[in-house]
Chain A
Amino acid sequence: MDKVQGFLVGLGSRVTDRLWRLGFAARFFVMLLVYSGQTFLRPHLLLREIWFSGVLSLIIILVSGLFVGLVLGLQGYDTLQRYGSSEALGVLVALSLVRELGPVVAGLLFASRAGSAVTAEIGLMKATEQLKAMDMMAVNPLARVVAPRFWGGVISMPLLAALFSMMGVFGGYLIGVVFIGVDEGAFWSQMQSSVDFREDVLNGIIKSFVFGIAVSLIAVFEGYDSIPTAEGVSRAITRTVVTSALAILALDFVLTSFMFRSL
């Protein structure tokens, strides 16, 4: 009986802890939005964060995009040529990338590269009392440190996803047209006629924007809420990567089910 009671008490306390943390995160998000004005009034703060989150993530995004495109080209050609429609390779590569793989894989990479870095930076600033010092200097850390990093991520993410898709399409072109010899005109013209800007490209951009908000919010929140010790910061970084990945995949399912209802 004691074991059952202990289990229920443990479960209840864990659930209330999670709910409490969720509430704290929601309140944190509202405060973050309230203190975001300064970020846009002082563009150098924002540009610095776009540099760190966006520009420094370019290498991993571009290289990964290229490889994903190369693989899509190989796999797609292998399947399509069985049905005699290898000219549709361009459509397959482009639709796969702009609708799904671009936003999702770029989001996962962004969470691992930039999200973890943001959590580590804010967590270490907290652990070394830099945030407290800033607060004592009458400078709000939410406005000065957290908001620019959040918006830097939100702005960078759709651009990175677009570049990922672009490199992917280029990879598909390299494999399909340059190496295998699919007709170049068919590759591009079928892609042009079958990929709809609003239905496919715009929806992909909306997805990457939503993922950018989710990953950036998780990253800054985990850093700000981390336990100010070496172990606490390392756990916060792990939580950022894991929670971001789950959030991206779950949000992708929800967004896809709303966006492509005709399916």
Chain B
Amino acid sequence: MPADSLVKISDLSFSYDNRPILNGINMDFPRGKVVAIMGGSGCGKTTLLRLIGGQLKPTAGSVKVNDRIVHEMGHDELYDMRRRMGMLFQFGALFTDIPVYDNVAFQMREHTELPEELIRDLVMMKLNAVGLRGAHGLMPNELSGGMARRVALARAIALDPMLMMYDEPFTGLDPLSLGVIGQLIRKLNDALGATSIMVTHDIQESMLIVDYIYFMSEGRVVAEGTPDELRATKDPFVHQFLYAEADGPVPFHYPAGDFSADLLRVPARG
């Protein structure tokens, strides 16, 4: 383990009702870096984020954040750790009953005793960082998908977290919003001196902003490396994923019997 890792995952396994989701995962997330976890839908990426955040407990192995094993933490210690984490959910998860301003101020009011004037300045700074200072009075239902994601980003960085986690930050965004969010993730990580973990299956955008990539398939890490290393690799899985090939190590067809036998079968009539 590199001495400067903020998050270390060791031999991590996780199952839902005896259905294995993650199987012996090992990963390192060095401080100050933006690391992407990629893989097809349902390969366990989001589950991994929830394990890092302590919302799930592993069936084997461990997740260490700041050298502390997450699943051994008590309630208070876990919440103390989460105060120093920020998470961007897939569709923002903004609180829909309060305006943008109060969404961003939420954690400041919950966790600090700061006077309202100072909270106002901080909220405006966070909203300015994502380019939405002018939208502070809008309700979440008045925002476009891209704007909602940016407000959620401002909310996630409200308390200057040491660790940022992004769950599919690019899903459903138009190319312009996608580029803006991508650049914000990189810039905010560097400005805050944070460490970022980004779960995504958006190859092109991620390759531009991340320092390191883990590829996952069926609950295992199947490839890893810097963007340049992965572009140069001959690994068939990475190649299939990078160039969006329909068939390859990840088969196009769901497991089924012989096709001709299926076609020749005469349908039963009642």
- Interface residues, chain A, CB within 8 Å of chain B? 121, 124-125, 128-130, 132-140, 144
**B110 contacts A128, CB within 8 Å?**
no
**A137 contacts B93, CB within 8 Å?**
no
A241 to B71, CA, bound (A): 38
Residue B59 at the A interface, CB < 8 A? Answer: no
Shortest CB-to-CB span from B18 to chain A, Å, is 17
**B87 contacts A136, CB within 8 Å?**
yes
**B82 contacts A137, CB within 8 Å?**
yes
Given A128-B96, A130-B96, A132-B55, the answer on whether A138 and B91 have CB atoms closer than 8 Å is no
Mask: chain B, 228-239; 1 = CB below 8 Å from A; 0 = not: 000000000000
Top 10 nearest A-B pairs by Cβ distance? Answer: A133-B93, A138-B79, A138-B82, A129-B93, A136-B87, A138-B83, A129-B89, A139-B110, A137-B107, A130-B93
A129 to B83, CA, bound (A): 18
Residue B111 at the A interface, CB < 8 A? Answer: yes
A139 touches which of B80, B87, B94, B107 (Cβ 8 Å): B107
**A138 contacts B106, CB within 8 Å?**
no
Can you name the residue of chain A whose Cβ is closest to the Cβ of B82? A138
Tell me the interface secondary structure of chain A in the complex. Answer: helix
A63 to B111, CA, bound (A): 44
Residue B30 at the A interface, CB < 8 A? Answer: no
Residue B90 at the A interface, CB < 8 A? Answer: yes
B91 touches which of A125, A129, A140 (Cβ 8 Å): A129
Can you name the residue of chain A whose Cβ is closest to the Cβ of B83? A138
A-B contact pairs, 26 of them (CB 8 A): A124-B96, A125-B95, A128-B93, A128-B96, A129-B89, A129-B90, A129-B93, A130-B93, A130-B94, A130-B96, A133-B93, A134-B95, A135-B55, A135-B82, A136-B53, A136-B82, A136-B85, A137-B106, A138-B79, A138-B80, A138-B83, A138-B111, A139-B107, A139-B110, A139-B111, A140-B79
B87 touches which of A121, A124, A133, A140 (Cβ 8 Å): A133
Q: Which of B53, B87, B111 has the most CB of A within 10 A?
A: B87
User: Given A121-B97, A134-B95, list of 8 further CB < 8 A pairs?
Assistant: A125-B95, A125-B96, A128-B93, A128-B96, A129-B90, A130-B95, A139-B107, A139-B110
Can you name the residue of chain A whose Cβ is closest to the Cβ of B107? A137
Q: Which residues of B contact A137 (CB under 8 A)?
A: 82-83, 106-107, 110
A137 to B80, CA, bound (A): 10
**B89 contacts A132, CB within 8 Å?**
yes
A130 to B90, CA, bound (A): 11
A133 to B167, CA, bound (A): 12
- B 4-58 contacts with A by CB, 8 A: 53, 55
Given A136-B55, A136-B85, A138-B83, the answer on whether A128 and B91 have CB atoms closer than 8 Å is yes
Shortest CB-to-CB span from B71 to chain A, Å, is 15
Shortest CB-to-CB span from A140 to chain B, Å, is 8
Can you name the residue of chain B whose Cβ is closest to the Cβ of A136? B87
Q: Which residues of A contact B97 (CB under 8 A)?
A: 121
Q: Which residues of A contact B95 (CB under 8 A)?
A: 125, 130, 133-134
